[in-house]
Amino acid sequence: MAFIQQSFSVAFEYKVFFTEHLFASTNRDFAQFLESRAEKGFRKKLLFIVDEGVTATHGYLQEQITAYCSDMEGFELVEDVIVVPGGEAAKNDLQLFHWLVNAVDQHAIDRHSYIIAIGGGSVLDLVGYVAAVSHRGVKHIRIPTTVLSQNDSGVGVKNGINYHGKKNFLGTFAPPAAVFNDAHFLTTLDERDWRSGMVEAVKVALIKDAAFFSWMEEKAAQLTEAEPESLKYLIHRCAELHMQHIGGAGDPFESGSSRPLDFGHWSAHKLEQLTDFELRHGEAVSIGIALDSVYSWLTGLLDAESLERIIQLLKTLRLPLYHPLLEIEDDEAPIVAGLQEFREHLGGRLTISLLEAIGKGKEVHSIDISTLRKAVNMLRDKW
């Protein structure tokens, strides 16, 4: 049998910048990044797509962007700053996806141009997917505006939308050209949003960094009040740990079935769907972390003292531990179906991250439903 074999690798590199008041005339971070990528005699286009929740609380933003980009050498701002709905609804709306792809076409955005998304994680996921599939890949820049997106989803390589009621069923792995975390956007967040965003830091500390978890315990009171310096450190360290994993795990595009950064997520994804996304992603993940931590203890992996520390930190941060839709009457319970959907999403055998200790995760490939039911009952009755 004759054949020709091809093999090549592609290097990806991007930076996450930490700044404040990104589009103030005195802040040159964004301009310097773009100008370092300018080409003499060639003007590249900039298309901004902004979460309407951000424009509602930062009413000056569109005018500020226009003024900031007006004299940027080598770049041309598309006249229209596109405003889109935020939240999970943005990822459930196929018409919105097609509308944005049409906007890319109408504004003649090519592969040398940049699509800049400003908003929460859902808008970043949507816009990143639009950029990735238009012309087989337009460069995109992320400007996350929530705690959750600044410390987790916004700094990663995944993009996607929901389809047929399944979270991130359509999507790509497409690293951004850059990420700009502007701390000023966090000052106008709804309490529920910044509080639920902190749970991804709890998650990554539990599976990777016991010292970071201890720091959160020590700073719990400040974090509960969104004290700026503590929140900035939490976001920076959480983003750092996520990026270390993406670059150091040897599988940044998740071609295998191992996804330790999804600790607590298998049930969270299902809970979001079952509540018609009334639960915030972070709230669902908090419940998922509590569930998988109790399950880890019930199976003898995790000691009782560590379990109590985990539960107590989630409670101190005023994050939820239980939802009635967790209830398991039999093997056909809706939450149990989340295990099969998670396996399908992984593209291989079921792989669930549990805990051996704070700071140390362990992968398992099956879940005992009767033990899972006991874990749910404990969350309902004990805490």
Report yes or no on 126 lying in a domain: yes
- Whether residue 178 sits in one domain with residue 47: yes
Same domain membership, residue 244 and residue 308: yes
Residue type, position 109, single letter: I
My answer on whether 180 and 198 are in the same domain is no
Indicate the pLDDT class of residue 249, thresholds 50, 70 and 90: low
Q: What pLDDT digit, counting tens, does each position of 171-184 carry? A: 999 999 999 999 99
Predicted confidence (pLDDT) at residue 254 exceeds the cutoff of 80: no
242 found inside a domain: yes
Residue 61 reports pLDDT greater than 90: yes
| Same domain flag for 354 and 337 | yes
Residues 6+ apart with CB under 8 A from 98: none
What is residue 242's predicted lDDT score, i.e. its pLDDT? 87
Closest by Cα among 282, 350, 269 to 319: 282
pLDDT category of residue 342 using cuts at 50, 70 and 90: confident
Average pLDDT for residues 4-12, to the nearest whole number?
87
71 within some domain: yes
Is residue 5, in this structure, part of any structural domain at all?
no
* CATH number, residue 342: 1.20.1090.10
For residue 73, pLDDT over 90 is answered with no
Residue 76, SS3 per DSSP: strand
Question: Sorting pLDDT into bands at 50, 70 and 90, what band is 48?
Answer: very high
Where residue 300 falls (left for φ over 0; alpha for ψ -120 to 50; beta otherwise) is left
Residue 4 counted as domain residue = no
Statement to judge: residues 103 and 199 lie in one domain: no
Residues 198 and 95 in one domain: no
Of 160, 188, 216, the position where a domain reaches its end is: 188
Report pLDDT digits (tens) over 145-157: 999 999 988 888 8
- 83-97 tens-digit pLDDT: 999 988 899 999 999
Asked if residue 354 and residue 240 are part of one domain, the reply reads yes
The secondary structure of 329-343 as a DSSP string is SSTT-HHHHHHHHHH
Checking if the pLDDT of 258 tops 80, the result is no
Identify whether residues 181 and 201 lie together within a single domain: no
Is residue 229 in some structural domain?
A: yes
What was the pLDDT predicted at 257? 43
More confident residue, 28 or 256: 28
Within-domain flag for 127: yes
Percent of the chain with pLDDT over 70: 95
Listed residue (283, 262, 293) closest to 198, CA to CA: 283
The predicted model scores a pTM of 0.89
In this predicted structure, the answer to whether residue 26 has a pLDDT above a threshold of 80 is yes
Whether residue 124 has pLDDT greater than 60: yes
**What CATH code is carried by the domain that includes residue 55?**
3.40.50.1970
The reply to whether 265 and 362 lie within a common domain is yes
Task: Give the integer Cα–Cα distance in Å for 104 and 107.
Answer: 5
Q: Domain check: are 184 and 195 in the same one?
A: no
- The answer to whether residue 3 is domain-embedded is no
Structure tokens at 16: 């996450």
Q: 252, 317, 251: which is closest to 290 by C-alpha?
A: 317
- Do 184 and 203 lie in a common domain? no
Number of domains in the chain: 2
Label residue 99 by pLDDT band (50, 70, 90): very high
SS3 61: helix
What percentage of residues in the chain have a pLDDT greater than 90? 71
The boundaries of the domain holding residue 64 are: 15-188
Tell me: the pLDDT tens digits for 278-309? 999 999 999 999 999 999 999 999 999 999 99
Please identify, among 188, 212, 236, the residue that sits at the C-terminal boundary of a domain: 188
Instruction: Provide the H-helix boundaries in the chain.
Output: 29-35, 52-57, 61-69, 89-92, 94-106, 121-133, 147-151, 191-197, 199-208, 210-218, 220-224, 228-248, 265-274, 281-298, 304-316, 334-346, 369-381
301 and 262 fall within a common domain: yes
- Choosing from 141, 163, 188, the residue where a domain stops is 188
- At residue 165, the pLDDT reads 80
**pLDDT score recorded for residue 156:** 86
